[in-house]
Amino acid sequence: MKIQESLALAEEEVNYLSPGKHQGIWVFLKTWALTVDHKRIGIMYFIAVIISFFVGGSFALLIRLELLSPAQILYTAAQYNAVFSAHGIIMIFLFIVPSIPATIGNFVLPLHIGAKDVAFPRLNLASLYLYLIGGGIASVAMILGRVDTGWTFYLPYAITSETAVLFVGVGLFIAGFSSILTGLNFMVTIHKLRAPGMTWMKMPLMVWALYSTSIIQVLATPVIAITLLLLLAEKLLGVGIFSADLGGDPVLFEHFFWFYSHPVVYVMILPAMGIMSELITTFSQRNIFGYKFVAFSSLAIALISFLVWGHHLFVSGQSAYVNILFSFLTFLVGIPSAVKLFNWTATLYKGSIRWRSPFLWAFAFMVFFAIGGLTGIILGLLPLDIHLHDTYYIVAHFHYTMVGGTVVAFIGGIHFWWPKMFGKLYSEFMAHIAFWIFFVGFNLSFLPQFVAGSKGMPRRYYTYLEEFTIYHQLSTFGSWLIALSIIMMFSYFVASLMNGEKAPMNPWGGKTLEWTAVKSPPDEHNFERVPVITHGPYNYESEEENLAKQNRQKNRGAS
Amino acid sequence: MDAQSLTETGTFFFPKAVNEYAREHDFLHYMITWGGVFIFVAVVGVMLYFIIRYRYHPDTNPIAKKQVIHNLKLEITWTIVPTVIVMAIFLWGAKDYLEGNVAKQGALEYQVIGQKWSWVFFYKEGFKTASELTIPVSKPVRLLMTSKDVIHSFYVPNIRLKRDVVPNRYTVLSFQIDEVGTYQVFCTEYCGDEHSSMWAKINVVDDASYDVFVATAVEQVNIPPVELGEKLYRSYGCNACHTLDGGELVGPSWQGLLGKKREFTDGSSLVADEDYIYTSMLTPWNQIVSGYNNVMPSFAYLSDKELSGLIEYIKTIK
């Protein structure tokens, strides 16, 4: 018996998931908790952000449940306000911001550039712990106590609020360092650890996207850290920077807050765009159309993103000319986004397109992001924004970009890299069904909100005029479909882990290094030997090239 | 009077437009929306065409037909064209916005105070109204707004305008409404528990009715205290937190309040009398009844007459 067991162990493949596997729970936990392997850290981030997603998502369902009826049905005003605040804070700070860079980014970045690990593996682990500690403090504060300020913490409301703003502030301050350090780590990794031959123009576009993201993380996150610190100082010591009572200016807080929080929406969307470039090239078996345009548009977005925060203050009373300037700059950021969309579409041209589950999500991204982007043009227009500001139109717009963009790309990325992460395949059939339920549910949830908003329905209302009932009910029904789809995904991914079919090294026919030179799941040190790069990331062959090659071989055989 | 319905009047996207600015706003919005729909259908259409036309097939399309990796002319075109389009849109929007921002000569001025969770309007004739602003039709008006506590935002969907109301500074909203009617006002900057019911109405009346309104309001300054109190109970939103029938809301009910023993969170207690009610309206945070939270703002901005009106009214609720 013993011999058989050890024989089975010996036969079992060794990969990055193996260490500590058969040595009891404590050794197992210890090897994970003290690992410096970027892949394991990515997986731990993955588990943590998924928990955040489920908690934040449950709050979303609770919001929608209350809004089934125009009158109060489930909670008091204070409870509702705590619920929507928790939804926003958890989803933004603890889920979307770390979702793609910290999970998929950590797992894929070193594989993409042919490196053994990130530049500072221990710093990487420290970042994870900072995220867990900060996120833990904020979550416990929100669930045991409550916070009713919304995720924006506008003053003077946040000062007068007697809820747990202090602890949530401290938690987010700590979690912010995780973001800064991850960005720093990725930048150094991309600069210093690329495999021989991998020039900047030969990097996969995901790497360009992560690089641009890192710039924003490193430059913008300290601003929110300082702002939160000032908020705490104001609350505890009454220093009089923001408080009107003490001669401060509450609008100054809005400027500080959005100076971080606008760029950070690009921390969310840029890595999503990186995933898109990978999905579209792989599933159309095509080299990307216009590599340089796609790569540099990421950098352009990162830079312009710092200049547009003022469009969140169009109705705050700032001067008309400042408003016009910010409106102008806001339009500029739309251009590189449009260029990306055109390039992805052109990449499909003459491809060989596989309608597989990751590609479905790429398709959904393009549809949702087009809607989010075009409504963004409307919101950039001053007279239109003044009407739509703080209504459900805004709510719909940012859900189309944040959920329809980032979350959809994240789900697509998980479907794409799942076989590489865990070495298992999942049910393609179930994945298609879950996708279509999501697609319908998402549109049902958020399309009616565009109409409700432009009809005048303000956001953050727990009771509302009866005439808006139908729009809210449609949204709530949609939210149930989204929940159903997420539960389905969760179950087929768990089923895949338990008894999924073993994944081959390259299930999708990808051309980047993680598919061509790394096992599924990868070895602890990723590559057997250091890869040497001689060509671009997406060197798919065309029919013509293939024919020419076959002809050459035939001729050789004939001669 | 109830405010005009927002969803059942007007067009698919908007409540009824009641001035020139709102009509121009709607025209701009519909132009951009239809343009957006056109671009969306075009891009997604091309995408779907490619997806279907170039779908994988083991026999006819096993690998990509062609690897088109670059076309500078095309790429420059689809960078320049959107740039030109958005710049044109930007200029159009900026022009409309600036025109809407020009202050009109000879506008009627009103002072607006936002406070958790009601709006108060001060008229130059020396009286004020709560939750209801009455203005004459087709006359430019100018609202000079400020807040007593946190940031609020004054939003009138029918004229497509909103402006934040900020403590420690004045903000201005200028407009005119060309149609007689009652229009909804929302608070759109989150301001706490009763944010969702921080509503007001704008009554737009013809000139003759406006003169009558002002004359009666000036006269009404002599209304009996109990009636005044009852009016204030509703218009200042006391009813959002205090019931008259013993029901539980955010604050204690007013039923039989006078003479009732009150126990406070700090352990002290007293029998409610006029002085207790008076100080509770001015500095509510000093004595919090056990079982309730410290949420009530001060109503120190009410006149002595109004305060005693409220006290007299509370005395009548048995």
Residues B128 and B89 in one domain: no
The full length of chain B comes to: 318
Residue A546 lies in a domain: no
Are A371 and B118 a contacting pair, CB within 8 Å?
A: no
With beta carbons under 8 A apart, name residues in chain B contacting A384: 25, 28-29, 32, 93
| Measured distance CA(B201)–CA(B185) in Å, rounded | 5
| Measured distance CA(A461)–CA(B193) in Å, rounded | 10
Residues B117 and B97 in one domain: no
| Measured distance CA(A246)–CA(A257) in Å, rounded | 20
Other beta carbons within 10 Å of A87: 22
Residues B158 and B59 in one domain: no
B204 SS3 class: strand
Residues B232 and B281 in one domain: yes
Residue B5 lies in a domain: no
Question: Into how many domains does chain A fold?
Answer: 1
Domain of residue B155: give its range. 108-220
Helix A121-144 / helix A165-192 crossing angle, nearest 10 deg:
160
Are B214 and B136 a contacting pair, CB within 8 Å?
A: no
> Which CATH number does the domain housing residue B305 bear?
1.10.760.10
DSSP secondary structure code for residue A406 in this structure: I
Q: Give the CA angle between residues B17, B23, B24 to the nearest 5°.
A: 150
Residue B6 lies in a domain: no
Q: What is the mean pLDDT of residues B309-313?
A: 90
Using CB atoms within 10 Å of the CB of residue A154, give its burial: 0 to 12 exposed, 13 to 18 middle, 19+ buried.
buried
Question: Into how many domains does chain B fold?
Answer: 3
Residues B235 and B174 in one domain: no
Q: Give the CA angle between residues A222, A227, A232 to the nearest 5°.
A: 125
Residue A509 lies in a domain: yes
Give the long-range contacts of residues A524-528, CB within 8 A, separation 24 or more: A524/A15, A524/A16, A524/A18, A524/A19, A524/A37, A525/A116, A526/A39, A526/A110, A526/A111, A526/A115, A526/A116, A526/A117, A527/A114, A527/A116
- Spell out the per-residue pLDDT of chain A, length 559, in tens: 456 666 565 567 788 888 888 888 899 999 999 999 999 999 999 999 999 999 999 999 999 999 999 998 888 889 999 999 999 999 999 999 999 999 999 999 999 999 999 999 999 999 999 999 999 999 999 988 889 998 998 988 888 888 888 899 999 999 999 999 999 999 999 999 999 999 999 999 999 999 999 999 999 999 999 999 998 888 888 888 888 888 888 899 999 999 999 999 998 999 999 999 999 999 999 999 999 999 999 999 989 999 999 999 999 888 889 999 999 999 998 899 999 999 999 999 999 999 999 999 999 999 999 999 999 999 999 999 999 999 999 999 999 999 999 999 999 999 999 999 999 999 999 999 999 999 999 999 999 999 999 999 999 999 999 999 999 999 999 999 999 999 999 999 999 999 999 999 999 999 999 999 999 899 999 998 899 999 889 988 888 787 888 888 878 766 5
3-state helix vs strand vs coil in chain B, percent to 5: 40, 20, 40
To test the contact with chain A by mutation, choose from B8, B16, B52, B54 the residue with the greatest count of A C-beta atoms within 10 A, namely B54
Are A326 and B44 a contacting pair, CB within 8 Å?
A: no
To test the contact with chain B by mutation, choose from A73, A157, A463 the residue with the greatest count of B C-beta atoms within 10 A, namely A157
Residue A15 lies in a domain: no
Query: Which residue is closest to B16 within chain A, CA to CA?
Result: A455
> Which CATH number does the domain housing residue B142 bear?
2.60.40.420
The full length of chain A comes to: 559
To test the contact with chain A by mutation, choose from B21, B41, B43 the residue with the greatest count of A C-beta atoms within 10 A, namely B43
H helices then E strands: how many in chain B?
Answer: 6, 12
- Whole-model pTM: value is 0.88
Closest CA to A174 of A93, A238, A248: A93
Smallest Cβ–Cβ distance between A250 and the set B47, B54, B167 belongs to B167
Q: How many A-B residue pairs are in contact by the CB < 8 A criterion? A: 288
SS (H, E, C) A194-245: CCCCCCHHHCCHHHHHHHHHHHHHHHHHHHHHHHHHHHHHHHHHCCCCCCHH
Q: What are phi and psi of B190, to 5 degrees?
A: -50, 125
ipTM for this prediction: 0.90
| Measured distance CA(A200)–CA(A296) in Å, rounded | 11
**Measured between CA atoms, how close is A334 to chain B, in angstroms?**
8
Are B263 and B287 a contacting pair, CB within 8 Å?
A: no
Residue A453 lies in a domain: yes
**Measured between CA atoms, how close is B72 to chain A, in angstroms?**
8
B167 SS3 class: strand
Q: Which helix (H) or strand (E) holds A508?
A: none
Using CB atoms within 10 Å of the CB of residue B214, give its burial: 0 to 12 exposed, 13 to 18 middle, 19+ buried.
middle
> Which CATH number does the domain housing residue A297 bear?
1.20.210.10
Smallest Cβ–Cβ distance between B161 and the set A334, A386, A461 belongs to A386
What is the torsional sign of CA A84, A87, A88, A90? Answer: positive
**Measured between CA atoms, how close is B220 to chain A, in angstroms?**
31
Smallest Cβ–Cβ distance between B78 and the set A251, A339, A378 belongs to A339
B44–A366 C-beta distance less than 8 A: yes
A463–B47 C-beta distance less than 8 A: no
Query: Which residue is closest to B34 within chain A, CA to CA?
Result: A374
CA-based max dimension of chain A: 93
Q: What is the pLDDT of residue A240?
A: 86
Are A504 and A423 a contacting pair, CB within 8 Å?
A: no
Query: Which residue is closest to B11 within chain A, CA to CA?
Result: A455
Q: What is the pLDDT of residue A1?
A: 47
Residue B118 lies in a domain: yes
Residue A78 lies in a domain: yes
CA A401 to chain centre: 11
**Measured between CA atoms, how close is A496 to chain B, in angstroms?**
26
How many alpha carbons lie under 13 Å from residue B198 in its C-beta half-sphere? 29
Are A45 and A98 a contacting pair, CB within 8 Å?
A: yes
Residues B115 and B205 in one domain: yes
Smallest Cβ–Cβ distance between A374 and the set B39, B160, B168 belongs to B39
With beta carbons under 8 A apart, name residues in chain A contacting B13: 451, 454-455
Residue B155 lies in a domain: yes
Residues B166 and B201 in one domain: yes
Q: Which helix (H) or strand (E) holds A56?
A: helix A38-66
B294–A378 C-beta distance less than 8 A: no
Closest CA to B161 of B172, B147, B148: B172
Are A295 and A208 a contacting pair, CB within 8 Å?
A: yes
End-to-end CA distance of chain B: 29
| Measured distance CA(A334)–CA(B87) in Å, rounded | 11
Q: What is the pLDDT of residue A277?
A: 95
Q: Which of B46, B73, B101 is the last residue of a domain?
A: B101
Collect all residues with Cβ–Cβ distance below 8 Å to A522 and sequence separation of at least 6.
A15, A16, A39, A111, A420, A514
Q: Which of B67, B101, B135 is the last residue of a domain?
A: B101
Q: What are phi and psi of B206, to 5 degrees?
A: -75, 170
Structure tokens given for A39: 């892949």
Q: Which of B101, B116, B138 is the last residue of a domain?
A: B101
| Measured distance CA(A521)–CA(B316) in Å, rounded | 78
Closest CA to A49 of A17, A16, A92: A92
Closest CA to A68 of A480, A485, A458: A480
Q: What is the pLDDT of residue A554?
A: 79
Find out whether the peptide bond into B117 is cis, omega within 30 degrees of 0.
yes
Average confidence score pLDDT of chain B: 90
A12 SS3 class: coil
Residues B229 and B216 in one domain: no
Domain of residue A260: give its range. 35-541
Residues B257 and B292 in one domain: yes
| Measured distance CA(A444)–CA(A456) in Å, rounded | 19
**Measured between CA atoms, how close is A3 to chain B, in angstroms?**
47
Smallest Cβ–Cβ distance between B47 and the set A250, A288, A348 belongs to A348
Give the long-range contacts of residues A541-549, CB within 8 A, separation 24 or more: A541/B63, A541/B64, A541/B67, A542/A350, A542/B63, A542/B64, A542/B65, A542/B66, A542/B67, A543/B63, A543/B64, A543/B65, A543/B66, A544/B65, A544/B66, A545/B67, A546/B63
With beta carbons under 8 A apart, name residues in chain A contacting B56: 285, 352-355
Smallest Cβ–Cβ distance between B150 and the set A156, A343, A460 belongs to A156
Residue B213 lies in a domain: yes
B86–A377 C-beta distance less than 8 A: yes
Q: What is the pLDDT of residue A516?
A: 92
Residue A29 lies in a domain: no
Q: What is the mean pLDDT of residues B197-207?
A: 93
Residue A553 lies in a domain: no
Residue A431 lies in a domain: yes
Residues B284 and B229 in one domain: yes
